[in-house]
Amino acid sequence: MSDQQGIVVGVDGSPASMAAVEWAARDAELRNVPLKVVYVVVPLVVTEGWSEAAGDYAHFQQEQARQIVEHAHKVAVEATSSDRAAQVSTEIFHASVVPTLVELSKRADMVVVGSRGQGAVARAVMGSVSSGVARRAHCPVAVVHDDVPFAERAQAPVVVGIDGSPASELATQIAFDEASRRGVELVALHAWSDMGPLGFPPTNWAPIEWRNIKDEERALLAQRLAGWQEQYPDVVVRRVVVCDQPTPRLLEQAENAQLLVVGSHGRGGFPGMLLGSVSSAVANAAQIPVIIARMPRD
């Protein structure tokens, strides 16, 4: 996972983007990979008669960019050990924001963005940049919220959603790696119904087929985890199997977790699909960092 150019974090000066810098710096240190802080200046389209004003505004943009990346660099260095300073670099681009971050994702282990930028209106809604990068990146994308201080959840578990899709397999790999590096428990959630909970009478009555399916789904989850548990014997895994839609159950587990990992699209998706409903919903609603396991071929 660290054979390319490390972690790229996009900043714009918003609280969420600075939280993204702090989280990205700590994750880069855990992985022992470089961190690149990126600010993208969107070029101004100049019409006739406005060249002088445009020049002043371009100077303002450049100065603003310099101040933001300097502050972000300071945040990144302060979030990690002193010997990591040389591993933190900054770069300012003059281009469109999302295409620039997507292009950088081709050579990155992960791209990290804040959940909402300076122009966000509603705090509950993902910003256009975070949403665009999550839909188009060529590597895993972490969407970081600034709702919960990271220190408060340092010992909390990592949660991963598992449904058997290829993207879910990559999510499982990432989740085991993150839990191992953090030294925390991994909660593996498998929701095996897309129809919501199936309510049966309280007398323990249920069609024998449904009881069999539940047992089969538990066995299937154990099988999917077995190889990763052998590779990461230090990770304690708690399995959660539910007959319900995955989004509400993942958000429920996220309330007491430090990180949530999901695939970019689930068993109902198809290769090349931009972003599944589950990954989009949890990245939007969770108050903790969410890693969306986008695959290179996505």
Give the tens place of pLDDT for each residue, 151-187. 889 999 999 999 877 888 999 999 999 999 999 999 9
CA distance 55 to 28: 37
Contacts of 48 (CB under 8 A, 6+ apart): none
Please give the residue that has the higher pLDDT: either 91 or 210.
91
The confidence band for 47, taking pLDDT boundaries of 50, 70 and 90, is: low
Q: Which of 110, 104, 99, 188 is nearest to 144 (CA)?
A: 110
- β-bridge pairing 290-293 and 259-263: parallel
Residue 120 has pLDDT above 50, yes or no: no
Tell me the CA end-to-end span of the chain in Å, nearest whole number: 17
Tell me the pTM.
0.86
CA distance 267 to 142: 21
| Pair of tokens at residue 29 | 């240190």
Asked which of 46-50, 131-135, 198-202, 234-238 is least confident by mean pLDDT, the reply is: 198-202
Residue ranges, comma separated, of all CATH 3.40.50.12370 domains in the chain are 7-144, 152-293
Residue 218 pLDDT: 86
CA distance 222 to 134: 29
Burial of 252 (0-12, 13-18, 19+ CB in 10 A): middle
| Pair of tokens at residue 279 | 């990954």
CA distance 174 to 159: 11
Residue 107 has pLDDT above 80, yes or no: yes
Quick one: average pLDDT of 45-68? Answer: 77
C-beta of residue 190 within 8 angstroms of C-beta of residue 241: yes
Please give the residue that has the higher pLDDT: either 209 or 116.
116
Where does 7-144 sit in CATH, by number?
3.40.50.12370
Quick one: average pLDDT of 270-276? Answer: 46
Where does 152-293 sit in CATH, by number?
3.40.50.12370
- Count CB-CB contacts under 10 A for residue 116: 27
